Amino acid sequence: MKAYRIKAMIGYLASALAAGAATFAGMHTMVPWSQLYGKNFNGVREGLKVLALTYDDGPNDPWTMKLLEVLDKHQVQATFFMLGKHVRQRPEIARAVHEAGHAIGNHSFSHPNLIFCSQARVRQEIEDTSSAIFDATGQRPYLFRPPYGGRRPGTFKIVESMNMLPVMWRVTCFDWNAKSADQIMGHVHRQAVGGEVILLHDGGDLQMGADRSRTVEATDRILTEYKDKGFLFVSVHEMLQMRPEAELPFNARKLGD
Ligand SMILES: [Zn+2]
């Protein structure tokens, strides 16, 4: 029964992919696409049994690689919003994430709050990070997540003008200062109903090596528990391809912080 449900979900995703293919073909020119659907992406229709795990502030040694093991065990693709400075420090970890088939997004170079940055600085932060990711993986990212979710009017216009799509989230796990995996699970249980982009952290913005053991443990539990309930886990890249089918009311919900 469980296997059947998961198969049905994959079938649904496949048909959504086909329906979305024409829209998605213009990946290089994200601007018209995002004008159609809104200013940023944070998930698909509420209640749809699909979730996207996202991890910010890496790559981070050793926690990013430990996370890759857990994701591999569950055969799930996630999305990593990386900091340019950490990619420059540990390009081989970024490459391993890419080679494992996960999506990589840009999370700025040095993690400033963009509310306080000039337009030129915002562009520089994004460009330096995309270059670092390209040097590590051979692919330029098209997904962007602002540090702290911070932006002011015009910030996402800059992002769009650089042919990138702003990605936010609807479930905040507060894993950066969680005392235990239980605490992280509590936040997931309270917020996740399906359709959401979920915010987690494989790294810390201040330095390499931030302890993310609780995030890794919580990831294993989230995947075990929600897959058992019939949820499908996809990368943001995959979730975007579902959107034309998923009738998302964009920005309809309050974002986390
Ligand atoms: Zn961050």
Tell me how far the alpha carbon of residue 107 lies from the centroid of ligand 1, in angstroms. 7
Domains of the chain: 2-246 (3.20.20.370)
Tell me how far the alpha carbon of residue 204 lies from the centroid of ligand 1, in angstroms. 7
Catalytic hit among 56, 57, 175, 205: 56
pLDDT for the residue numbered 244: 54
Distance CA 209, CA 203 (A): 7
Cα 238 to Cα 10, 76, 77, 172, 232: the distances in Å are 11, 11, 9, 20, 11
| 125: confidence class by pLDDT, cuts 50, 70, 90 | very high
For residue 252, pLDDT over 90 is answered with: no
Tell me how far the alpha carbon of residue 156 lies from the centroid of ligand 1, in angstroms. 17
- The 10s digit of each residue's pLDDT in 165-204 is 999 999 999 999 999 999 999 999 999 999 999 999 999 9
Residue 86 annotated to the active site: no
Tell me how far the alpha carbon of residue 154 lies from the centroid of ligand 1, in angstroms. 20
Tell me how far the alpha carbon of residue 14 lies from the centroid of ligand 1, in angstroms. 32
- The 10s digit of each residue's pLDDT in 17-73 is 444 443 443 332 232 233 333 468 888 888 999 999 999 999 999 999 999 999 999
Residue 111 annotated to the active site: no
Distance CA 128, CA 132 (A): 6
Distance CA 245, CA 97 (A): 28
Tell me how far the alpha carbon of residue 179 lies from the centroid of ligand 1, in angstroms. 19
| 254: confidence class by pLDDT, cuts 50, 70, 90 | very low
Q: Report the pLDDT averaged over residues 148-173.
A: 89
Cα 157 to Cα 30, 120, 144, 161, 162: the distances in Å are 11, 13, 12, 6, 9
| 153: confidence class by pLDDT, cuts 50, 70, 90 | confident
For residue 15, pLDDT over 80 is answered with: no
- Spell out a b/e string for 220-230, using b for 16 or more CB atoms within 10 Å of the CB, else e: bebbeebbeee
Distance CA 75, CA 53 (A): 13
| 105, containing H or E segment | strand 103-106
Tell me how far the alpha carbon of residue 50 lies from the centroid of ligand 1, in angstroms. 24
Residues with CB under 5 A from ligand 1 (ion): 56-57, 147
Tell me how far the alpha carbon of residue 110 lies from the centroid of ligand 1, in angstroms. 9
CB 196 within 8 A of CB 51: yes
Tell me how far the alpha carbon of residue 223 lies from the centroid of ligand 1, in angstroms. 22
pLDDT for the residue numbered 40: 83
Catalytic hit among 201, 202, 205, 237: 201
